[in-house]
């Protein structure tokens, strides 16, 4: 087996971070290398750990996930970013993609789908909910 997918988990809710870590640690091809509770910590930990993937929540204080994503992707373009949020509005998903997110999942999805999404991102793919990918492509940027 090749090198495992290294993951940084970022969410302001401890229970969410612990839940993600509990499932990801069971995956033979994944390892959680660190965690953070806001966007600024996410940037610092990304610089220190250089993970393959950063999982970011949208709503965190003082810096949210979309702003952190923008910084991470500008500094380390090869690091994949998966946004996970309870927010499902197309405008939020669009902002995340414009900021450089490689994927966006609702926190309502099951963990099997989260693991599948992480593998897809690691392989170079993109993960968006439902028909959002085709809608983003169809609308384009003004």
Give the model's pLDDT for residue 131.
57
CA-CA distance, 130 to 66, in Å (whole number)?
Answer: 20
**Read out DSSP for 122-133?**
HTT--B-STTHH
Q: What is the CA 24 to chain-centroid distance, rounded?
A: 14
pLDDT-derived band at 88 (thresholds 50, 70, 90) equals confident
Give the model's pLDDT for residue 138.
47
Instruction: Tell me: pLDDT of 35 over 60.
Output: yes
Give the model's pLDDT for residue 49.
98
Average pLDDT over residues 89-95: 90
Token output for 57: 């929540």
Question: Which comes out higher in pLDDT, residue 4 or 129?
Answer: 4
The residue whose two tokens read 């709503």 is 59
Average pLDDT, the chain: 90
| Percentage of residues of the chain with pLDDT beyond 90 | 80
Average pLDDT over residues 22-41: 96
CA-CA distance, 57 to 38, in Å (whole number)?
Answer: 8
Domains defined for the chain, CATH in brackets: 5-139 (3.40.50.2300)
CA-CA distance, 49 to 120, in Å (whole number)?
Answer: 21
Give the model's pLDDT for residue 129.
79
Give the model's pLDDT for residue 132.
54
Question: Which comes out higher in pLDDT, residue 90 or 30?
Answer: 30
Rg (the chain; Cα; Å): 14
């Amino acid at each position: 087996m090749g090198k495992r997918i290294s993951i940084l988990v970022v969410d302001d809710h401890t229970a969410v971070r612990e839940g993600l870590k509990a499932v990801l640690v069971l995956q033979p091809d994944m390892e959680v290398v660190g965690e953070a509770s806001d966007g600024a910590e996410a940037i610092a930990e990304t610089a220190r750990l250089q993970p393959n993937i950063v999982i970011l929540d949208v709503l965190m204080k003082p810096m949210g996930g979309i702003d952190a994503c923008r910084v991470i992707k500008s500094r380390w373009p090869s690091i994949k970013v998966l946004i996970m949020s309870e927010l499902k509005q197309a405008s939020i998903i669009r902002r995340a993609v414009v900021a450089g997110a490689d994927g966006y999942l609702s926190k309502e999805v099951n963990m099997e789908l989260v693991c599948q999404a992480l593998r897809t991102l690691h392989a170079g793919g993109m993960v968006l909910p439902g028909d959002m990918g085709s809608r983003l492509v169809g609308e384009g940027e003004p």
